[in-house]
Amino acid sequence: MRTKFKAWTKPYIDEHSEYSLADEEISSLDDFYLEIGSGKGDFIIQMSEKYPNRFFLGVEKNVTCAGITLKKIVEKELKNVKFLFRDGAEVIRLLKNHSVNKIYLNFSDPWPKKRHSKRRLTSVSFLEEYKRILKSDGKLVFKTDDLDLFNFSLEMFNETGFKIISSTYDYDGSDPDDAVTEYQTKAIEKGMSIKRAVLGL
Ligand SMILES: C[S@@+](CC[C@H](N)C(=O)[O-])C[C@H]1O[C@@H](n2cnc3c(N)ncnc32)[C@H](O)[C@@H]1O
C-alpha cells in the first residue's frame, strides 16, 4: 500500500524541529524505547500515552508518513516522544551501546526479492546493530502479517544469537506492551493472522 505524497509534510516537518534531535543528542540518548518505521504513528502515539513514564523515539523515512505522524504528535502535545524523519539505519549507527530498552518493528517492509533482502529490518546487519544498542535485558519486538518475512526473521534471530522469549503465528493482541498499528488494522480486516516474536539477548 503506497501512501499518496502530500506536499505539506516536508515544510511541516521543518517547522516542527522541537520534536527532532540533532546527531549529538541522538548519540547521548539512554534508557528509551525505539520504533523503526513508525508509518502514520498509531503505535508510537498509543504507546506514549499508555506509558507516560517511558521515553519513545520514532523513526520514519517516508516524508508523507513522517509528516502525518508528527502532526498527530504535535497536536497531542506529547511530552515523552521524539520523532525523526530519517532512515533507521542512519539513526541506529548514532546510538550508543546498550542504551535501548526495547526496539519495536511493526509490519516492516517485507522486501520479498532476494536481492533486496539486506534492506529487511530483520536482516543480519540490522540485528547485529540491535544487539549492540539494546540493554542487556533489552528486547526486540517484531510483528508482521507477512509469513515469509516472519520465517526469514526467525532464521536470522537464530543466526545472530537472539533468544526467542515468545513467538506465535497467531497473535491475539493480548500483550499489554503493545498497540495496534495501521497495517495491523488492515490485516485483521482482511482476515490475516498476525505473527509476533519477542526476543532477548
Ligand atoms: C509497511 S509500513 C508499516 C507502518 C507501521 N509500522 C504500521 O504497522 O502500520 C513500513 C514503514 O516503515 C518505514 N521504513 C522502512 N524502512 C525504514 C527505515 N530503514 N527507516 C525508517 N523507516 C523505514 C516505511 O517508510 C513505512 O512507512
- The CATH number of whichever domain residue 55 belongs to comes to 3.40.50.150
Smallest CA-to-CA distance from 121 within 191, 41, 59, 186 is with 59
- How many Å apart are CA 20 and CA 66, to the nearest integer? 11
Q: Does ligand 1 have an atom closer than 6 angstroms to the CB of 41?
A: no
Q: Helices 63-76 and 42-50: crossing angle, nearest 10°?
A: 30
Which residues does residue 60 pair with via DSSP β-bridges, in sequence order?
85
Share of the chain above pLDDT 90, in %: 99
| Closest protein CA for atom 27 of ligand 1 | 39
Contact between 48 and 80 under an 8 Å Cβ cutoff? The reply is yes
Band of the pLDDT at 1, cuts 50, 70, 90?
Answer: low
Q: Does ligand 1 have an atom closer than 6 angstroms to the CB of 84?
A: no
What average pLDDT score do residues 161-169 get?
98
What average pLDDT score do residues 116-127 get?
97
pTM assigned to the model: 0.98
Number of compact structural domains in the chain: 1
- Determine the distance separating the centroid of ligand 1 and the alpha carbon of 34, expressed in angstroms: 13
- How many Å apart are CA 153 and CA 26, to the nearest integer? 27
User: Does 130 fall in a domain?
Assistant: yes
User: Does 34 fall in a domain?
Assistant: yes
132-159 pLDDT, tens digit each:
999 999 999 999 999 999 999 999 999 9
Q: Does ligand 1 have an atom closer than 6 angstroms to the CB of 26?
A: no
User: Does 90 fall in a domain?
Assistant: yes
- Determine the distance separating the centroid of ligand 1 and the alpha carbon of 131, expressed in angstroms: 20
What average pLDDT score do residues 52-74 get?
98
What average pLDDT score do residues 62-80 get?
98
User: Does 37 fall in a domain?
Assistant: yes
Smallest CA-to-CA distance from 111 within 100, 103, 119 is with 119
User: Does 128 fall in a domain?
Assistant: yes
Share of the chain above pLDDT 70, in %: 100
- Determine the distance separating the centroid of ligand 1 and the alpha carbon of 70, expressed in angstroms: 14
Band of the pLDDT at 2, cuts 50, 70, 90?
Answer: confident
Q: Is the pLDDT of residue 110 over 70?
A: yes
Ligand 1, atom nearest to 88 Cα: 20
| Greatest C-alpha distance within the chain | 44
Q: Does ligand 1 have an atom closer than 6 angstroms to the CB of 65?
A: yes
- Determine the distance separating the centroid of ligand 1 and the alpha carbon of 107, expressed in angstroms: 7
User: Does 5 fall in a domain?
Assistant: no
Smallest CA-to-CA distance from 106 within 44, 33, 192 is with 44
Expressed as residue numbers, the domain containing 64 is 18-200
| Closest protein CA for atom 11 of ligand 1 | 37
Q: Which three cell numbers stand for residue 169?
A: 503465528
Residue 146: the pLDDT is 98
User: Does 1 fall in a domain?
Assistant: no
Ligand 1, atom nearest to 62 Cα: 25
User: Does 86 fall in a domain?
Assistant: yes
Q: What share of the chain is helix, strand, coil (3-state, %, to 5)?
A: 40, 20, 35
